[in-house]
Homo-oligomer: A and B are copies of this chain.
Amino acid sequence: MTRLEILGVEGMPEIAAGADLAGIICEHADLHPGDVLVVTQKIVSKAENAMAVVDPDDPLSHKPLVERESVRVLRRRGDLIISETKHGFVCANAGIDLSNVERGRAALLPEDSDRSARRIRDGVRGRTGVEVAVIVSDTFGRPWRRGVTDVAIGSAGILPIVDLRGTTDAHGREMQVTEVAVVDELAAAADLACGKAAGIPVAVIRGVDAAWLGTGSVADDVVRSPADDLFR
């Protein structure tokens, strides 16, 4: 059988500003060439000190931050703001989040999460000599469907979109649905192992098709430009 494994990396310590994430991950995971390392945004933001101070007694004190981190507000309902961030992500509250952070602090999105992914990838290579792919994941809602899922906000060492255009299906006909956002599918798969409150902020996915390893970034390949978008 075709087989992949999703391994949650346990025992990671609390991550502080300036932490060597790649080093800490290497201490807690046995990485193999071709593994895809999925690192949740929160610990990346903490390591990069992408944090802001908020009033711990005011549950809405992060709202001015949401406005500041947004380049365009798409929808508002009550306290909820769906906006486009400077990175081009469309998500709730500009990706700002108060859970699993110190009281009185809010985690922002990393400045450039593709760069964050490249740094972790380079750090793993430098420390162990092992070439892995890295995805930085975050938890976004979707229109039309209830519930949140994890998606990729940064990547390195992997094709974000695998283009099957021109390949033929089992009937010899050219495929129609073709460009698969494998980084998002990998981020979603990793979340199955990273229990939300269980303190597993990193997962390793092993057995990924080697043809998917390559170059690209979420910003360049996954973020859809407003001109191409039918819902902006």
Contact = CB atoms under 8 A, between A and B. Distances in A.
Contacts of A99: 169, 173, 175-177
Interface string A1-28: 1111111111000100000000000000
A199 B169 CA distance: 8
B8 A5 contact: no
A228 B77 CA distance: 10
Contacts of A82: 230
B184 A185 contact: no
Given A82-B230, A188-B188, A196-B175, A145 B209 contact: no
Contacts of A9: 1
Contact of A189 (B29, B168, B169, B192): B192
Contact of A143 (B6, B14, B175, B232): B232
Interface stretch (A63-71, A100-108, A118-126, A128-136): A100-108
Most buried by B among A168, A193, A207, A209: A193
A209 to B, nearest CB: 7
Contact of A222 (B145, B178, B223): B145
Nearest to A176: B99
Contact of A6 (B142, B170, B179, B189): B189
Contact of A102 (B10, B171, B231): B171
Interface stretch (A47-55, A109-117, A159-167): A159-167
Interface of A: 1-10, 14, 29, 74-75, 77, 82, 89-90, 97-103, 139, 142-151, 160-161, 164, 167-171, 173, 175-182, 184-186, 188-189, 191-193, 195-200, 203, 205, 207-209, 221-224, 228-232
B3 A149 contact: no
Most buried by B among A77, A89, A144, A224: A144
A201 B170 CA distance: 11
Contact of A185 (B149, B161, B168, B224): B149
A3 B6 contact: yes
Contact of A200 (B2, B164, B188, B208): B2
